[in-house]
Structure 1
Amino acid sequence: MPVPQWWGVCEAKPGSRASALAPPARPARVRLPAPGEPVGFADHVKPLFREVDRKSMSFAFDLWSREDVAQHADAILHRLRQGTMPCDGAWSAEQVDLFARWITEGTAP
């Protein structure tokens, strides 16, 4: 699968990337699904993406849109596993696993 052109840069819009001088962004808080509970976009996946992440990728797609994230899920997961997304620090293994599980379960709403 060819790498989408937008993966070559973390941010294409001036002013939308977090300043290196700004305090570090807090990690996203996410409610983990209970055993046997399906992973849903609104409850579990969307909260993984912070406002700064959404703003950074807005030139390519909307990280708060289930349809956009589902369309690019494999490429996003690849970057998450590499630790190159988000731009300011990798997700925890638990968060990456949750996102992968959402894909495996069929990208539920």
Structure 2
Amino acid sequence: MDMFFQGDNSMPTSFSSDILPLFRPTDIACMKARGVSLGVSDWMRDPTAKFGFPDHGNARRVFSALSRGKMPPDGAWPPDKLAIYQQWMNEGSISRAIPARVLRAFACGIA
């Protein structure tokens, strides 16, 4: 297990504190050029059915690529990172809003 998940399910996972830190700046930049906004909470949490998924198509498409080892390009995520992402989707945290000020602080390196 890594530092992002300690097995304590008392606090739900969140995009800003649990998911966004899993992606490196190079991952975010690489995928942005391909129309995949890994670093944008609203894009990742979009509830729209897309890409053959019944809901939250963006997040589910990213998870599909991660779990098949297609992302990131330099090697598959370890099981603990995949488990955090899966937990985020399973808990329904995927739909919770993240304040824009929190995302700006993270992007600026403040958080």
User: For this structure pair, what is the TM-score category when the shorter chain's length is used for normalisation?
Assistant: 0.5 to 0.7
Q: Is the 8 A contact 1:39 1:101 kept in 2?
A: yes
1:85 counterpart SS class: coil
Q: Structure 1 vs Structure 2: percent identity of aligned residues?
A: 26
Aligned counterparts of 1:103 and 1:94: Cα–Cα separation in 2: 14
Show the 5 A alignment for 1:37-76: 37-59=11-33, 60-71=35-46, 72-76=58-62
Q: Which residue of 2 is the match for residue 31 of structure 1?
A: 4
| Paired residue total | 81
Do residues 90 (structure 1) and 76 (structure 2) align? yes
Moved more, 39-48 or 70-79: 70-79
Moved more, 41-50 or 68-77: 68-77
Q: So what's the TM-score if we normalise by structure 2? A: 0.65
Rate the CA distance shift 1:62–1:80 in 2: closer, same or farther, 3 A.
same
Q: So what's the TM-score if we normalise by structure 1? A: 0.66
1:44 counterpart SS class: helix
How many Å apart are 1:66 and its aligned residue?
A: 1.2
Q: Which residue of 2 is the match for residue 13 of structure 1?
A: none
Q: Which residue of 1 is the match for residue 105 of structure 2?
A: none
Q: Which protein is richer in helix relative to its size?
A: 2
